[in-house]
A and B are shown apart, each in its own frame.
Chain A
Amino acid sequence: MIISQLGYYSLIFGLLTSILIFFNSSIQIKKNNSVISNKTTGLIGFQFFFVIISFISLIYSFIISDFSNETVYNNSHTTKPLFYKITGTWGNHEGSLLLWLLVLTGVLLGFIFKSKNEPNNYRQLTILFHQIIVIGFFVFILKTSNPFNEIFPVATEGLGLNPILQDPALGIHPPILYLGYVGTSIIFSAALASMICSHVNKSWAKEIKFWILFSWFFLTGGILLGSIWAYYELGWGGFWFWDPVENVSLMPWLSLTALLHCVVTLEKRELFKNWTIVLCIITFALSMAGTFLVRSGILNSVHTFANDPSRGIYILTFLLVLVLLSFVVFVIYENKNFVQKSEIFAWSKETSILINNWFILYFLSVVLIGTIYPIFLDVILDEQISVGPPFYNKLILPFLIPFVLFMSIGPSMKWIKTNIKIGVKSFFIIMVTLILSFVTIYYIGSKNIFLLLLFIGFFYLLLKSLDQLRQKTKNFAQIFSHTGFSLLLISILLNSFSSNEIIRNIQVGESFSLKNEKILFQKILVEKEKNYESIIGFFEILDEKNKIINLHPEIRIYNEPEMATSEASIKTSLFKDRFITINLIKDQNFFNVRYQHKPFMIWVWISTLIIMLGGLFAIFRKNKEVNI
């Protein structure tokens, strides 16, 4: 009770501090002070502190199951394990917004400490713009989604957390994803500020690159965790469904990736100034739009916590205000920054980065259209459609081939001008690529030319990226992320083209087979856990080498709320995942068994980790001259 109150008042204090900071910064900017006073830094510290207090209070209310708090009552239950009580804090609309706010104020504090060498005007303006976002979110939380609403009479038991959200990967998925999403806010504020101060230059690029990499790293991690969750928990055997909610996390990722490459050009050559700023704005707008689409209930999915239109309209209006604000700033200050115009040669790193940006923007617009087109159609023509994988495959796959080719040759280009030499080495790489691709195609047993071309492109990228290792100045960030990306594409392609599955309704004691493998349904066992009851199936698989593999898929019947989920049992090996799920068939002794071969699954995760490792290298790289 008291803790909830503490959380609530701490939020109000946080809002008051924000308003103070806002006015303080405006005054400082007018005065043109040359240093940021300790007062400002202190206030920002306090603001973060208040949000932390509020966040901890909410976690505490969840831990002690304080059902006088409406959020806790709606999303928790006494029988839940402690871990899920804690992760339940952000597994709902109110709590997740509090997390948003926490990261939002946290990155500003981080920015203040990291940007000490930058001009004061620019820092003050960044604080000012950031406070607009912070205040907007404070008001949003207090007005429409207060996590500390009280209910009376106090309930003795809560309604429980949706069982499919009770998963370790999903427990940490929101915080990681939010670090990525909300990290883009500081990029946005800083971009506007630098535009106004005419500070879009090398030093700014160097500084903002950290935040771009930071957001990019965590966003990648968040998406990875989400996919892992989908694969292990949803029990469909897939990891990416082109679901609108997945798309909204992919869109800022794409624009961040474009921005990442673009900002390096700004850092090295002071080129693409306006374009960098536009990308900064787009990235944050996409993150906000993601929050809007997910939280407003316009899209229905496991991520939709509440269907309250007033919340949606608030975020939407706020988003429009921010975008219009940035638009006005951009239009007014654009010319100021557009000073020099260096020449760009056709064969240069600049060109290749520009081409990379065009492609990424193309992919981005495909995803954007696929995501919002159904909403527009519904409003304008009252027609309901859903856009599925074929749309994305048709529009994205063919363009991946030229994209990866440019990606392969781009890194070996030099700044300003490159002389192209085609030597024995390039010929060797092409030969190996062709051999690898033909062997793979043969192995899958496909005669599809298009597939072959895709493999050629992906393998070429892989070899070219690995080839960079022989260079004197190695850029590990780029090598790792590009190698990881090519591995990711190869494993996804292999995974989707050589998966096998079989669905059978069988009884205990029966068996079936898939591709030289015999699957025997041995027995079932019923067990009772704290928050669910589970029916475990015991399966024995005899593979082609007569090795025995045991799999134990489960059906869990959760008590609060009552709901049955199917837990897949997965045996992972280097080249293949064996994936089995069972379902009950009512009043019969039969079980619905689904057995799948998922080749190279683990490589999807590993290669994404390699991509992230590249990001880490870039973050911790010392500021010496290296090519990207």
Chain B
Amino acid sequence: MQFLEKTRKSIFSLIILVLLISSFFIFKFALQKEKIYSPNITDNQIFTDFEVIDLIEEKKINFDKVLFGKNFYLINIWSSWCEPCKDESEYLLELKNDTSIMMIGINYKDKKINALNFLKLYGDPFDQIFIDKQGTVSINFGAYGVPETLLINEDNKVLKKYIGPLNDGDVYEIKNITNN
């Protein structure tokens, strides 16, 4: 009886120990996990070999295939909850008229309904929009937050990078680059 009681106790202790230590490691991995994401930009060239999901049709596509057919690509990272993004939308709409640019929106940590409402309210400047629910896609562009805008050319080279909302000066600069 005594023996049984002892075995029961040690088995119980063992289970608790294993649980404790395994949760320790799980938390440890969870902590380190965040570090895995780091921008893959080399020589100003953005990394394009990753999958993105379209906002409207929710289809997966490799980002390589998106960058096709135009001389310039403007990648804008935005979100419906981001106040400066609202200020920025008029400039993006202006750039949409430039036919040499493909406008690509990355919808950062957002809900689909809110994103669509946002576009309805402020206008949709994008040719294509992709979802970045976890904020990990944007890291591929070396972005820190919203809004952020990158102008890249057909060789995937980053020509300009704007942190924060665009203004008239930036639009002027972008137009100068694309018209030359």
B residues less than 8 Å from A585 (CB atoms): 86, 121
Q: Decide if A316 touches B27 in the complex (CB within 8 Å).
A: yes
In the complex, what residues of B have CB within 8 A of residue A586's CB? 86-87, 89-90, 121-122
From A313, A327, A376, give the contact of B26 (CB < 8 A): A376
Set B31, B86, B87: member contacting A296, Cβ < 8 A = B31
Shortest distance between the CB of B79 and any CB in chain A (Å): 14
CB distance B26 to A320 under 8 Å? no
- Cβ contact within 8 Å between A298 and B31: yes
Of the candidates A316, A380, A564, the one whose C-beta lies within 8 Å of that of B24 is A316
Minimum CB distance partner of A557 in chain B: B83
Asked if B33 and A378 sit within 8 Å, CB to CB, the answer is yes
B171 within 8 A of partner (CB) = no
B29 contacts chain A at the CB level, 8 A cutoff? yes
CB-CB under 8 A for A320 and B29, given A586-B89, A586-B122: no
Which one of B13, B16, B134 lies within 8 Å of A384 (CB-CB)?
A: B134
**Once the chains bind, are A320 and B121 in contact (CB under 8 Å)?**
no
B56 interface residue, CB < 8 Å from A?
A: no
B17 within 8 A of A: yes
Q: Is the interface of B mostly helix, strand, loop or mixed?
A: helix
A587 touches B90 (CB 8 A): yes
In the bound complex, do residue B13 and residue A320 qualify as a contact, i.e. CB atoms below 8 Å apart?
no
Known: A384-B134, A585-B121, A587-B90. A309 touches B20 (CB 8 A): no
- Which residues of chain B come closer than 8 Å to A587, judged between CB atoms? 90
A502 interfacial contact with B, CB 8 Å:
no
How many angstroms between the C-alpha atoms of A331 and B14 in the bound complex?
11
- CB contacts (< 8 Å) of A312 on chain B: these are 27, 31
Given A327, A372, A378, A384, which contacts B17 in the complex, CB threshold below 8 Å?
Answer: A327
Contacts of B90 in A (CB 8 A): 586-587
Task: Kindly report which residue of chain A lies nearest to residue B84, judged by CB atoms.
Answer: A562
B113 within 8 A of A: no
Contact between A323 and B20 (Cβ–Cβ < 8 Å)? yes
The 0/1 profile, CB within 8 Å of A marked 1, for residues 7-38 of chain B is 00100010011001101101111111111000
| A292 contact set on B, CB distance < 8 A | 27
Given contacts A316-B28, A323-B20, A327-B16, contact A379 B33 (CB under 8 A): yes
* CB neighbours of A379 from chain B (8 A): 26, 29-30, 33
Quick one: which of B23, B27, B121 has the most chain A CB within 10 A?
Answer: B27
One digit per residue, 1 when the CB lies within 8 angstroms of any chain A CB and 0 when it does not, for chain B 97-117 equals 000000000000000000000
* Contact indicator per residue, chain A 600-616, by CB within 8 Å of chain B (1) or not (0): 00000000000000000
In the complex, are the beta carbons of B34 and A320 less than 8 A apart?
A: no
Q: Is A45 at the interface (CB under 8 A from chain B)? A: no
Interface membership of chain A positions 290-318, coded 1 if the CB is closer than 8 angstroms to chain B and 0 otherwise: 00100011100000000101001100110
Q: How far is the CB of A374 from chain B (nearest CB, A)?
A: 10
User: What CA separation (Å) do A375 and B26 show in the bound complex?
Assistant: 8
CA distance A320 to B18 in the complex (A): 12
- Give the distance to chain A from B80, nearest Cβ to Cβ, in Å: 11
Question: Which residues on B sit within 8 Å (CB–CB) of A372?
Answer: 23
Expressed in whole angstroms, the minimum distance between the Cβ of B61 and any Cβ of chain A is: 20
Q: For chain A, residues 311 to 348, give those with C-beta under 8 angstroms from any C-beta of chain B.
A: 312-313, 316-317, 320, 323-324, 327, 331
Contact between chains at B32 and A309 (CB < 8 Å): yes
Q: Which residues in A have their C-beta under 8 angstroms from that of B32?
A: 309
Closest beta carbon of chain A to B87's beta carbon, Å: 6
* Contact A375–B30 (Cβ < 8 Å): yes
Smallest CB gap from B83: residue in A:
A564
**Complex: how many Å from CA A507 to CA B98?**
34
B26-52 vs A, CB cutoff 8 Å, 1 = contact: the mask equals 111111111100000000000000000
Q: Are A298 and B20 in contact (CB under 8 A)?
A: no
Return chain A residues, CB-CB under 8 Å to B17. Answer: 324, 327
B75 to chain A, nearest CB (A): 22
A172 lies within 8 A of chain B by Cβ: no
From B16, B21, B87, A320 is in contact (CB under 8 Å) with: B21
CB pair B16–A309 under 8 Å, yes or no, is no
Complex CA distance for A309 and B9, rounded to whole angstroms? 36
**For residue B21, which residue of chain A has the nearest CB?**
A320
Chain A residues in 8 Å Cβ range of B121: 585-586
Q: Would you call A409 an interface residue if the criterion is a C-beta within 8 Å of the partner chain's C-beta atoms?
A: no
- Cβ of A563 within 8 Å of any chain B Cβ, yes or no, is yes
Contact across chains for B86 and A298 when beta carbons are under 8 A apart: no
Interface residues of A in 533-583 (CB under 8 A from B): 563-564
CA distance A563 to B29 in the complex (A): 34
In the complex formed, the residue of B with least CB distance to A285 is B20
Min CB–CB distance B22 → chain A (angstroms)? 10
A231-264 residues with Cβ-Cβ distance < 8 A to B are: none
Contact across chains for A324 and B30 when beta carbons are under 8 A apart: no
Q: How far is the CA of A324 from the CA of B20 in the complex (A)?
A: 8
Which residues on A sit within 8 Å (CB–CB) of B13? 327, 331
Q: Do residues A298 and B27 form an inter-chain contact, with CB atoms below 8 A?
A: yes
Nearest-neighbour CB distance to chain B for A282, whole angstroms, equals: 12
Given known A320-B21, A320-B24, contact A378–B83 (CB-CB < 8 A): no
A152 to chain B, nearest CB (A): 25
| Nearest opposing residue in chain A for B136, CB measure | A384
Which chain B residues border A384 with CB–CB below 8 Å? 133-134
CA distance A309 to B90 in the complex (A): 39
User: Quick one: given A586-B86, A586-B87, are A378 and B30 in contact (CB under 8 Å)?
Assistant: yes
Q: A320-B24, A379-B33, A586-B87 are in contact. List 19 more A-B contacts (CB 8 A).
A: A292-B27, A298-B30, A309-B31, A309-B32, A309-B35, A312-B31, A313-B28, A320-B20, A324-B20, A327-B17, A327-B20, A372-B23, A375-B27, A376-B26, A378-B33, A379-B26, A380-B26, A564-B83, A585-B86
Which residues of A pack against B, CB within 8 Å?
292, 296-298, 307, 309, 312-313, 316-317, 320, 323-324, 327, 331, 372, 375-376, 378-380, 384, 563-564, 584-587
7 closest pairs, A vs B, by CB? Answer: A586-B86, A312-B31, A564-B83, A379-B29, A309-B31, A320-B24, A379-B30
- 28 A–B pairs (Cβ distance < 8 Å), ordered by A: A292-B27, A296-B31, A297-B31, A297-B34, A298-B30, A298-B31, A309-B31, A309-B34, A312-B31, A316-B28, A316-B31, A320-B24, A324-B20, A327-B13, A327-B16, A372-B23, A375-B26, A376-B26, A378-B30, A379-B26, A379-B29, A379-B30, A584-B86, A585-B121, A586-B89, A586-B90, A586-B122, A587-B90
